[in-house]
Amino acid sequence: MRALTLTAIAVVVSGCSLFSGSEESRRAADQPTIADLKPAIIEDQGEETVNINIDEVIANYTDLLTVVEDPETRTKILYRLADLQMIRNEESSVTQEVVDYSEGSAAYFAVAISAYEGLLKKYPNRAENDQVLYQLAKAYDLEGRRDDSFNALNRLVKEYPRSSYFHEAQFRRGEILFTNGDYDASQRAFESVIRGGAKTGFEQQALYMHGWSLFKQGEYETSLDSFVKVLDLVMPESDDLDALSKESRTLVEDQLRVMGFAFNYLDGVDTVTSLFARVGARSYEHLIYQQYGELLVKEERYTDAVSVYRRFIELHPLSKWSPYYQERVIQTLIVAGFGSSVLPEKAAFVKNYGVTSDFYWRQQDEKVKAFTADKLRVYIDELATHHHAAAQTLDRNVAAGRNGRAKGLDGKEISAQQARTAMRDEYASAAAYYQEFVDTFPQDPKAPQMVFLRGETLFAVQRYEEAIVAYEKAAYEYQGFAKGAEAGYAAITAFDELASGSAEAERAQIELRKIESQIRFAQSYASDPRAGAVMASAAEKLFAMKDYPRAIDVAQRLTQRTPPPDNASLLGAWLIISHSQFELKQYAEAEKSYSRVLALMPANDKRRGEIAELLAASIYKQGELMLAANDVNGAIDQFLRVGQAAPTASVRANADYDAATYMLQQGQWDRAISVLNGFRQRYPQHELAKDVPAKLAMAYRNTEQWDAAAGELAVISQSHPDGETRRESLLLSAELYEKSGQTQKAIDTYRDYANSYPEPADMAAEAGYTLSELYAKANDPIKQRFWLQKVVQGYDAAGSKGSDRMRYLAAKSSSVLADDAFIQFKSIKLTAPLQNSLRSKQEAMKRAMAAYKKTANYRIAEFTTRSSFRLGEIYSQLSRDLLDSERPRNLNELELEQYQLLLEEQAYPFEENAIELHEANAQRSWSGTYDEWVKNSFEALKKLFPARYKKSEEIPEFSENIL
């Protein structure tokens, strides 16, 4: 049990200290104690530890003295017993509800004091006496013996300058000196502690009291340096006072308060500024400005307080505390009653911390951002409202002004121009703040209203482009905004104002943008009573700008509105639709739309005729489109439908004409005839009527109505403006009359042609020759020969210009005329007296031979061989006629025989000529010409020269190998 007790004492002694939980108690416990001695007996680990109170420990140490003989150990026990007495006295004092350390409480510490005094007396030079002096000074202090305590401390610092208790002793001395009002001495005591630094454990308290010592001596500026050092030690990194313990916060607040007093005693805010210029910036600097400002406010030094707050803002514009200080400026001015200065400071708040500031975008602290946002939300609204109201006041004042004068905002009279300038400035400021609000709080419920009001202010100062942007944003970007429709309509109005003040070149683009705005308004606010008129205006403008697809779209939506628009608006919409469809070549749709227009249009409306024309044109254009798509029959049907839908339309003439034309192309002759005759009946004076005869002529020819066709061609030949067409038509008319069997009409028409158109000569020759044949059929040989002669003369006159056909016809005609001469030659009989009749015969012979030579000269083979044969026959005929001529009646037989011989002599040369000519004609067969007249020449030669020619013809055989 004894071993257990010693062990317990060692444990308790090693754990005891003079000041529970204090730095000085820790240091006392670190001094060597009885626990450092090795126990005589090892502690029994198997037994439980026994709780021993301080009285038992003291008793144990007292008992220990009776068994310990070593002087050093006994001395240590005595020192420890003194400390234990002090501890017991302190514990006893703590347990009392009321602790009184006055002279009547000496019983608490008398034993400890007596023990310490005994030790000092008995061991005056012992090293541990610094601790004894420290504990003795404490005991004196606790008993209220301050002077004795002070003397003990003085002895400690004097005799033990290296003691671990030195700095605390100096600190306790400083406190006593400060309490006694010896501020200079206390200052030096605290400086001694401060020089010990943080390791003393009293640096903070010493600095604090050092500052107060200087302050009490009037050394305000120097004291501030110590106070700053205290704050450096106490303030947390966050600079948040709430993070401090209650005691530390109290210390800091007291420190800030006394610093405020120092500033007041010096140069106020300038001292604050110079302090940090001297000691350097501090994170808690804002607290010093804050507390000093609040001190000034309490003292009702409002202007000075505002200066303090402004100085911080000036020096630290981007500090997270800056907006708080600007708010303090505002609130201080409000408290001070400086109302006129409040609004500019709110404007400064917005400028310095609003969305356009550097501060706004650099700030990361969420609390600061929230605080700033709350203030901005209020102040921007207030500023915008203020400037808007001011602008409206000036606006009214300008309107009410007279003689170029108006009242300003202060009620004083100024020039109207000055008032207008001020008004524009106020509107501009309001607009800027409205925008600032939206930029800062885009999702705020007030944002739509702010945007709208910005539009109103911009409109008021004729900044229409910007006003439009604001109005449209308010109208279309904020769903459910109560004034959305008003904003949308205001944008449209702003476009009108913008256009009226813009250059001509810019108006088209503005007008286009206005239309977009109108469409957007009508779509977004369809139920608005103005939407119909806006939509109609947009449709009209789109049509005027030739934006037909969109004009149709807008106008159609107008027709579909519920409730439907009035009849006039509906009619206007359908007019735009139909006209636009027509311009877009949507002719089928246009036809339907024009029909709707006519259905809506009153019967007495003067426009009905025009719409009927457009309806007809729509149908007609459908036909043209079908033609382009090669649907000719479809096009014909469309053209004919024009007359059905709009009988009086001017385009019907073209439609009927085109229908007939394409019917002709398609071979629909009977339909074409019917349409063309109808056209001529309805439009006898139409410019296209002149072409009807030609088309009818074509149709009649293709239906073999030759007489009718000829009649139409005859009309053309008389009426057509083109001479060539008239000529061709007259000739064709003659041909068709001839073909129809109308011989007399054919003769009359050919004669008209031949007499009217000598050119082209070949056609004239054809006509003349045809006339000769028609007269031949009519048994009128005289007229026949007349036109044959015309044919020959025509070719002869043409010379080298004559065509081969003309030459042929001339040869043929000449051949007929030559045959007439041959017949005449042949018909003349040779009678006595021969000389007389022979003369006539010879004259006829010359004429016949000349005619045949002329015919041969045309070098047409069939007529050349014919002429050659006839020339041989003339000689042969003359030879025969001579031999067969009438004999004179008074000749005897001899004379008659001689006369016969004479005739034979005269006839022989002619026969030889005949043989020669026939032989020449027959020889043409050698060159491949073997026609009727060559054959006839061979037959004639058989008779004239039988010895040579009266044998069968030998036709050479050609080898098939000859190519």
At 341, is the secondary structure helix, strand, or coil? Answer: helix
State which H helix or E strand residue 851 sits in.
Answer: helix 834-857
Compute CA 337 distance to the chain's CA centroid, rounded to the nearest angstrom. 55
Q: What does the domain layout of the chain look like in residue ranges?
A: 445-514, 526-605, 804-949
Q: What percent of the chain has pLDDT over 70?
A: 87
Q: Do the beta carbons of residue 605 and residue 614 sit within 8 Å?
A: no
At 262 the pLDDT is: 95
Q: Do the beta carbons of residue 583 and residue 542 sit within 8 Å?
A: no
DSSP secondary structure string, 730-743? HHHHHHHHHHHT-H
d(CA 42, CA 47): 12
Q: Which of 140-149, 596-605, 638-647 has the lowest mean pLDDT?
A: 140-149
DSSP secondary structure string, 454-473? HHHHHHHTT-HHHHHHHHHH
d(CA 9, CA 63): 12
At 783 the pLDDT is: 94
At 927 the pLDDT is: 83
Average pLDDT value for residue range 2-25: 33
- pLDDT reading at 835 higher than 60: yes
Compute CA 575 distance to the chain's CA centroid, rounded to the nearest angstrom. 30
The residue type found at 585 is K
| Per-residue b or e along 148-185, where b marks 16 or more CB atoms closer than 10 Å to that residue's CB | bbbebbbbbbeebeebbbbbbbbbbbbbbbbeeeebeb
At 720 the pLDDT is: 83
Residue with tokens 């010879």: 842
Compute CA 625 distance to the chain's CA centroid, rounded to the nearest angstrom. 35
d(CA 32, CA 390): 85
Phi, psi of 301 (to 5 degrees): -95, 70
Adjacent-strand bridge partners of 405: 402, 415
- At residue 108 the predicted structure's pLDDT band, cuts being 50, 70 and 90, is low
The sign of the CA dihedral 269, 272, 275, 280 is negative
d(CA 640, CA 635): 9
User: What is the CATH architecture assignment of 526-605?
Assistant: Alpha Horseshoe (1.25)
- Of 168, 155, 159, the closest CA to residue 196 belongs to 168
Query: What pTM did the predictor assign?
Result: 0.62
pLDDT digits (tens, 9 = 90+) for 836-878: 888 988 999 999 999 999 998 999 888 988 988 999 899 988 8
pLDDT digits (tens, 9 = 90+) for 371-421: 999 999 999 999 999 999 999 999 999 999 888 999 999 989 999 999 999
- At residue 56 the predicted structure's pLDDT band, cuts being 50, 70 and 90, is low
Average pLDDT value for residue range 502-508: 90
At 631 the pLDDT is: 96
